[in-house]
Amino acid sequence: MIDKEKIRKQAKRIMDNFIKALDKAGDIKEEFGSERKDSMRTEIKKGKDPDFRKRMFMNAPKKKKDFFVMEKKNW
Amino acid sequence: MIKEKLKDINSGKLSAKKNIEDFLKLIKENKKINAFIYVNKDAVKQAEIVDKKIKQGKAGRLAGLAIAMKSNINVIDMPITCASKTLENYYGTFDSDVIKKIKQEDGIIIGMTNMDEFAAGMSGESSYFGPTINPACQERVPGGSSSGSAAAVAAGMCDIALGSDTGGSIRNPASNCGIVGVKPSYGRVSRYGLIDLSMSFDQIGPLCKDVYGCALMLEIIAGKSDYDAISYDRPVENYSSFKKINKIKIGLSPDFEKLCKDKRIYNLIKKYAGELAEKTNSKIKNINLKYVDLAVQTYYPIVYVEFFSGTRKLDGRKYGRKIEDSCGEEVLRRIIGGKEISKAEYHGTYYRKALRVKNLIKKDFNNAFKDVDIIISPVTPSLPNKLGDKMNPEEAYAFDALTIPANLAGICSGVVKAGKIDDVPIGMQIFAPAFKEKLLFDTMNSWEDLNI
């Protein structure tokens, strides 16, 4: 059984150490941004797969007729 | 070897059916390698169709070749498990862009390969379906995360395999298993259909026993796709038509040397870089990569956050199980860690800071490539671990120190065989600027031809 709290503390410690190490780089100017002219792609009309619905339903853990059954009271 | 086999298939000397049947037999006989999670039951039928096309003169460039696929790349009606319990029963509902292209060229998907769970690993041991065995050195790990793809190639169970590389997941197992592997430039290959680990770094790339096979495969799968917004609209060159390199400038960096724990590996690669330079009338130049020692510390905060974000779809409702309830320790660490540092109170402290340093490392490489044409380094800082050895996460992450920089910089990088130390295969890593895959393959081929 995995101890989630132990993992959380460990992950946070690793991240803290890593981010502290990045201080070596000093103050850095932020230079993010897109290199492309258009950031949005044109919507594409996809060819229809007649069996797509069947495939999706095969992957669903719980289903009832035409619906996926979502868990109740679990989240 | 791939070039010769294609000639044999196209001339009728070897049928596609026989090629596939031979591989299926080997896969069956070598189950202990655990390279495959699933083998395509229709492969022989598909090969028969390809044989008919060959006779009609209508076959594609991969006609009859057996292509193994990493289990995080969607193939219609095949299990796309990501080697996890979470997606144990998930079947692909569509073909990824790379699969469509392979099928168009009459390549035959022979099966889905083993890997580290959700590509979150570097040893090949963290699969829900059990560890992959390294065919080139059975007591050592094969490397990951594309462990099954590399092992399948090394054990001769397929012609070419595809893997994905986020921080070294193609190059690391290629090196450990003694084969060739290539991480293309960021945006060179469409990722539509790839189950993501970290959207800022993921790339799909080939593994093969020879450079020609990797070059041919990349030629086919590269290019812009309307379904992947980061794929770039740049011409795909004829990678598999090699030109001998001559009088180029080869960079070696003392900063890589410092990261290399086992100095025997660095010295071997340095010696081979010298031999390559000598035989190709090229020059060696030392280059400065000031921030490369921060690569691991830069990479993991970005991966943690993006992996946490990417796995939110795995809530157990539309498909599979809820990931947090069904995954292994490393996957959980990345999810919980990513969640932790994505919290509002940490805004700007982790992810954005790491992105800023990522830009510095990218600039480091861009500056270096003003002085040299390519850069050479080892693939791993030490020999691969023995199977089953325990390591803490920081030690495990440090194994990627020499491969991560290419992902941070978005450049292309390939691995070729470079001898052995203690009977363990060693890979030589070659970096080339972004979208200079032609130069990368020409260099890799020139090295291969030296036959050292």
Distances (CA, A) of A5 to A11, A75, B339: 10, 19, 13
Please name which of B166, B197, B184, B3 lies closest in space to residue B82, comparing C-alpha atoms.
B197
In this model, does residue B365 exceed pLDDT 80? yes
Residues of B in contact with A12 (CB under 8 A): 337, 340-341
List the 135-174 stretch of B: residues with Cβ below 8 A of A: none
Torsion of the alpha carbons at B417, B422, B424 and B425, rounded to the nearest 10? 0
DSSP structure string for B355-375 = HHHHHHHHHHHHHHHHH-SEE
Per-residue pLDDT at B141: 98
Confidence band of B256 (pLDDT split at 50, 70, 90): very high
Distance, CA of B139 to CA of B307 (rounded, Å): 31
Dihedral (CA of A63, A69, A71, A75) sign: positive
CA–CA dist A24, B357 (Å, integer): 10
Confidence of residue A35 (pLDDT cuts 50, 70, 90): low
A36 confidence band (pLDDT: 50, 70, 90): low
Q: What is the Cα–Cα distance from B329 to B126, expressed in whole angstroms?
A: 9
In this structure, of A14-23, A29-38, B135-144, the range with the lowest mean pLDDT score is A29-38
Average pLDDT estimate for B323-335? 96
Give B78's contacts (C-beta < 8 A, 6+ positions apart).
B38, B40, B69, B91, B92, B109, B111, B112
Residue B230, burial from CB neighbour count under 10 angstroms (0-12, 13-18, 19+): middle
Residues B51-76 have a mean pLDDT of: 98
| Mean pLDDT over the full length of chain B | 97
Single out the residue of B259, B282, B277 nearest to residue B377, CA to CA: B259
Write down the pLDDT at residue A44.
75
Which residues in chain B are contacts of A22 at CB distance < 8 A?
A: 294, 297-298, 353-354, 357
- pLDDT recorded at residue A40: 67
Distance CA B100, CA B105 (A): 9
**Amino acid making up residue B294:** L
pLDDT at position B345, please? Answer: 78
Residue B162 has pLDDT above 80, yes or no: yes
> What does the DSSP assignment read for B342-355?
TSGGGTTTSHHHHH
* pLDDT score of B95: 97
Cα separation, B452 vs B447, in Å, equals 8
How far, in Å, are B302, B310, B312, B367, B392 from residue A8 at the CA level? Answer: 17, 18, 17, 39, 15
Provide the whole-model pTM.
0.95
Contact B297/A at CB under 8 A:
yes
pLDDT confidence band for B382 (50 / 70 / 90): very high
Residue of B75, B359, B366, B392 to mutate for A, most A C-beta atoms under 10 A: B359
| Sequence letter at residue B429 | Q
Element (H, E) at B430: strand B424-432
A73 band by pLDDT with thresholds 50, 70 and 90: low
The per-residue pLDDT for B348 is 82
Q: Helix B2-11 and helix B16-29: axis angle, to 10°?
A: 130
Looking at the complex, does the CB of residue B357 fall below 8 Å from at least one CB of chain A? yes
**What are B441-452's pLDDT values in tens digits?**
999 999 999 987
Place of tokens 């003003």: B370
DSSP assigned state of B66? E
Element containing residue B36 per DSSP (H, E): strand B36-39
β-pairing verdict for B180-183 and B108-113: unpaired
Q: Interface pTM (ipTM) of the complex?
A: 0.91
Contact state of A30 with B352 under an 8 Å Cβ cutoff: yes
Q: What distance in Å separates the CA atoms of residue B362 and residue B376, rounded to the nearest whole number?
A: 16
pLDDT in tens, B396-420: 999 999 999 999 999 999 999 999 9
Q: How confident is residue B169, by pLDDT bands cut at 50, 70 and 90?
A: very high
Which single residue is written with the structure tokens 């060693």? Answer: B426
**What percentage of chain B exceeds 90 in pLDDT?**
96
Q: Which of B226, B300, B301 sits opposite A41 (nearest CB)?
A: B226
Q: What was the pLDDT predicted at B164?
A: 98
Report which of residues A37 and B439 the model is more confident about: B439
Taking only Cα atoms into account, the Rg of chain A, rounded to an integer number of angstroms, comes to 23
Q: Are B89 and B320 in contact (CB under 8 A)?
A: yes
CB contacts under 8 A, B 232-291 vs A, are: 291
Pair type for strands B160-165 and B66-70: parallel
Q: Give the distance from residue A35's alpha carbon to the nearest chain B alpha carbon, in angstroms.
A: 10
Counting Cα atoms < 13 Å in the Cβ hemisphere of B248 gives 25
Structure tokens at B409: 């910089």
Residues in chain A: 75
Secondary structure E strands in A12-72: 63-64, 67-68
pLDDT in tens, B7-36: 999 999 999 999 999 999 999 999 999 999
According to DSSP, residue B150 is labeled H
Q: What is the mean pLDDT of residues B291-312?
A: 97
Q: What is the pLDDT of residue A46?
A: 73
Using the predicted structure, report yes or no on whether residue B189 has a pLDDT greater than 90.
Answer: yes
The answer to whether the CB of B23 falls within 8 A of the CB of B95 is no
CA dist., res. B416 & res. A44, Å (int): 39
Q: What radius of gyration do chain B's Cα atoms show?
A: 21
CB B431 within 8 A of CB B375: yes
Q: Is the pLDDT of residue A74 over 80?
A: no
| Mean pLDDT in residue range A48-70 | 86
Q: Pairing between strand A67-68 and B36-39?
A: unpaired
Q: Residue A52: which pLDDT band, with cuts at 50, 70 and 90?
A: confident
CB–CB contact A11 B304 (8 Å): yes
Nearest to B255 by CA among B362, B369, B402, B399: B402
Are the CB atoms for B134 and B141 separated by under 8 Å?
yes
Question: B340–A24: do the CB atoms touch at under 8 Å?
Answer: no
pLDDT: which is higher, B74 or A53: B74
**Amino acid at position B21, single letter:** E
B116 or A72, higher pLDDT: B116
Give the pLDDT of residue A63.
85
Q: Show the beta-strand stretches assigned E in A1-75.
A: 63-64, 67-68
Residues in chain B closer than 8 A to A45 (CB atoms): none
**Cβ atoms within 10 Å, residue B311:** 24
- Which of B218, B239, B216 is closest to B7 using CA atoms? B216
Among the residue ranges A40-49, B138-147, B167-176, B443-452, the one predicted with the least confidence is A40-49
Q: Which tokens hold the place of A21?
A: 């190490």
